[in-house]
Amino acid sequence: MVGEVKKHVISENETLLDIARWYDLGYNQIILANPKYDPWIPPPGKEAVIPTQYVLPSVKTGLVVNLAEMRLYFFTREGNKKIVYTAPIGIGTDGKLTELGIYTIVRKRKNPPWHVPESIRKEEPDLPEVVPPGPNNPLGTRALYLSRGSYMIHGTNKPWGIGRRVSHGCMRLYPEDIEALYPLVPVGTPVTVIYEPYKLGVKDNKIYLQVFPDFENKVASSFAEIMRLANILKKEQGGKIILYWMEIRKYLENKDGIPHIVGEIRGIPPAKN
C-alpha cells in the first residue's frame, strides 16, 4: 500500500480532467471515484474524491504496467531504500491492447520522430510515413522502446487521453510524467505488462481491496479471484486471514478504484531481531 485518499474542493470552471492531471490521475480513476459528477461541469464548491492511494501490483520489479488499472509502476532503489514511482497511462483501444508478458527497454530517445506503422496508415491514409518531432507528434517529447513489436512507453500531445483506451497498443503518459520517468529508467529495464483489475494489499494488519472494471472480461469468477489473492497474502504475511464478504461484495459491484478495508490479518508472528 502506498499513498492516501484525499479530497479536493472543486473550483469554478474546473473540470474533473483538470483535477485528475493536477493529482497525476487518469480519466478512468477520477471518473470511477466521482461517479455522480459530470466530468466536464462538476459542481463548484463540492468535494471531489482524489484516489491517490494504491495497492501495489503483484509484480514489484522494474517497470510494471497494469492495463486494467491504466497505471504504470516503477520499482527501484535509492541507496538502501526501496522506491516506487507511479503514473497513469493511456492504453490500447478494443482489440489493440498491449500483449501481456515481459519486455525489456531496448532504447530511449528524446524528441522521437514517429514512423507511422503501415497498419495505421491504412486506417488514416492522410498520415505521412514519418511525423517529425513537434506539437503534432503523438509520441510527445520522450519514448522508451520495448523489445517486442512496435510497442513504446511515450509521452503524448493529447493529455486528455490518459486513463482512456485510445492508442494502437503503446502506453502514453502525461508529458510531465514521461519527462520525469525518462532519466530514471535505464536501457535493459524489464517491463512486465499485466492485467489485474482486483488487488489485495495489507497495511497495519488491515486487508484492502482495490477494484477496477474488468473491461476485457478476463476474470471468470470475482469471488474465486479474491480467494486466490487472499491465499497469496496468507503465504506472504502468515497469520489468519479474515475477510468481510459483505464489504467485498459491495466493492466488487461499485468498482470505484479506491482501496477499501475488507478484512484483517490476525496472529502474525512477531518479527525476529
| Amino acid identity, position 208 | Y
Tell me how far apart the alpha carbons of residues 162 and 171 are, in angstroms, rounded to a whole number: 9
Whether 154 is catalytic is: yes
Work out the burial of residue 235: count CB atoms within 10 Å of its CB; fewer than 13 is exposed, 13-18 middle, 19 or more buried: exposed
> Which is the catalytic residue, given 8, 115, 168, 170?
170
Closest CA to 1 of 200, 255, 192: 200
Tell me how far apart the alpha carbons of residues 43 and 41 are, in angstroms, rounded to a whole number: 6
Q: Where are the beta strands (DSSP E) in the chain?
A: 2-3, 6-9, 47-50, 53-54, 62-66, 71-78, 81-88, 91-92, 101-110, 114-115, 130-131, 142-146, 152-154, 165-167, 171-172, 190-194, 198-203, 206-211, 240-243, 260-266
DSSP string covering 22-58, please? HTT--HHHHHHH-TTS-SSSPPTTSEEEE--EEPPPS
Whether 170 is catalytic is: yes
Q: Are 33 and 257 in contact (CB under 8 A)?
A: yes
Here the cell at position 32 is 470511477
Catalytic residues: 154, 170
